Structure 1
């Protein structure tokens, strides 16, 4: 299909906004992006995230459609990252799940749940049960600390802040016009009118609450720690009945540890209780964290819809709202981008049906723009 250049305004330069800006500009479209903050994305939930790509691990708390979106992302992320001029840390060494002996009953329940979810989404690689010997081989630094564990092959992670910075570089390279410290709303634009964009894509997360009243914030607190005495080769999750947590190792012995989940849009600093629980759990996984240095205690609110599932809706011709990524932003972002491109290209999306993704389109949608949508089997 020949490309018919269109003009786009994107509201919100978080993860979704930047990814869509790059993909659309790469296809030859004129793109303006507006954000209330700076290129550092200080207002975005993506800045605080651990950026784990763990569909089977997350299946314990979400629906099969989101899990399929996560599986889709494991294939798409290497393609998206490979097209960037600036390198981004990416790892696909699986997820390790461990528990202490006193939490064995909770671990058994969790294992049964993952096994059931795997039957529902059979394209996921099979999880593997590890005894103490196999666990020591998979993660030598945890030898003799845990008697059992689970290994989830194929799952991955990336460096969220490296990616956000690399997307800014790519936007500049592709001549995306970025308007920092310039909040805007869809009402500021009349799509299709002379001098106005053909499309407005609203990716503002909680910033769009005035337009999408069902949105709510789910607070999360994350610690970033530099711990030279800790060596973990892959994201590790601790099963615990009160405070399950994860440790995501990044480059240069830096670790992201999280995350609490509180039904609140309060963005005040992390509480003493949450911090103690996170750090105590990390120390219980590896005592080397005791000598680590706390680089940051970060708090952010994830944009969440009532069913905890993402959605895309068209509120008027030429205006699409993409929101509700909840705690799965990095895991499902490639799927959300690909569905959006399909909608822009054809006025509908077969991918959304595969993902059980709610896409609400007005019958008076503008004609397809010629946006290139990826082809998938």
Structure 2
């Protein structure tokens, strides 16, 4: 038997935090017939959320260079889940699954060889990943004509994808409203403000506040990320492209209407001050080296945000007391793994345990 009460429909559920995880859970729980209420410290635009400042790449094999096989399996699971989740939303969300292209300049070939070895190790460890393809100059030109002649070697990772993070956040907010979710914007609340299960109280409280939960989850830390959003009408990259470099490997994620999200920096700091000149120069110079059309691009935004991260850089789910569940630590993999964490949380609420958590080697703490 489970060690905590199971979710009975219709239940009353209070969610703390309306970033990516909070919105996904609010929509799915409301769709299942539960009464859902959300408290969010910011506004509907998710201005304070790490999910707003992201490229939203869904790249489990590419990300295996910096994470564990369990996270790769979460990414595999999520790639299969995203189309169904997006199809039920109140607004359109750009989504593509055209793979990931990895490029490098000749002087960075040793670094690229190390990366290829790491990716091949992942493929040997995690079954079901599409085989990476090694490209010569002709192969690079065939996959991405826009960079033909500038790169003579590359890797292509089939099946990987991306979506538009800001369209998704907006569509989730609209769907929450459509489903009757009671949302309190600019409302800062903590689990201690509720006594779930009591008279006039919710049946469950789910804390998805990211770094806002540091008072309760003191192991959390912020890892700063910086991205540039450009409008580049002269650039026609078809898929997320990563450039190997020993100091600042970058990614370029093409969105709709020639908007590009470019990022690289990852700094062990919760500093939210503006981007440094050095970081901006490195990002923009690396993008220009991929395609000279970026020289005439217009800078739409240079943004900074901190990702909520646990000591092992892995996500975790825990039930800290009766009817209070916390999910956190999505680090740099939020969009890639959020549907997997969504399904784990739903299993825990409905059955008291989660077989998926075991499959993902996910840290799952339940009361004994």
Q: TM class by shorter-chain length?
A: over 0.9
- Match in the other structure for 2:254: 249
| Equivalent pair of 2:265/2:279 in contact (CA under 8 Å) | yes
If the length of structure 1 is used for normalisation, what is the TM-score? 0.95
Cα deviation 1:294-342 (Å, max 9, x = unaligned): 0000000000000000000111101001000000000000000000000
* Partner in structure 2 of residue 82 of structure 1: 87
Distance in 2 (CA, whole Å) between partners of 1:37 and 1:324 is 19
SS of 1:301's equivalent?
A: strand
Is contact 2:7–2:349 with CA below 8 Å preserved after alignment?
Answer: no
Residue matched to 1:313: 318
> What is the distance in 2 between the residues matched to 1:194 and 1:54?
45
Confirm whether residue 286 of structure 1 aligns to residue 291 of structure 2.
Answer: yes
- Encode CA deviations 1:109-131: one digit per residue, 9 max, x unaligned: 11111001111112110000011
Q: Provide the residue aligned with 1:331 in structure 2.
A: 336
SS at match of 2:196: coil
For 1:367, the equivalent position in structure 2 comes to none
- Is the alpha carbon distance of 1:241 and 1:17 closer, same or farther for their aligned partners in structure 2, counting shifts above 3 Å? same
- 1:98-177 alignment, distance < 5 Å: 98-177=103-182
The aligned runs of 1:168-187 (5 Å cut-off) are 168-187=173-192
Count of residues in Structure 1 that have an aligned counterpart in Structure 2? 363
RMSD: 1.0
Match of 1:357 among 357, 362, 367: 362
Alignment partner of 1:97 is 2:102: yes
Q: Quote the Cα distance in structure 2 between the aligned partners of 1:3 and 1:193.
A: 15
How far apart in 1 are the matches of 2:42 and 2:343? 26
- 1:289-300 to 2 correspondence within 5 Å? 289-300=294-305
Alignment map for 1:203-242 (pairs within 5 Å): 203-242=208-247
- Aligned position for 1:200: 205
> Distance in 2 between the 1:362 and 1:47 partners?
33
Is it true that 1:273 corresponds to 2:278 in the alignment?
yes
In the TM superposition, residue 2 of structure 1 has moved relative to its aligned partner by 11
TM-score computed with the length of structure 2 as normaliser? 0.98
In structure 1, C-alpha distance between the alignment counterparts of 2:248 and 2:235, rounded to whole Å? 21
Deviations 1:97-155 (A, max 9, x none): 00000101110111111001111112110000011001101001011010000000000
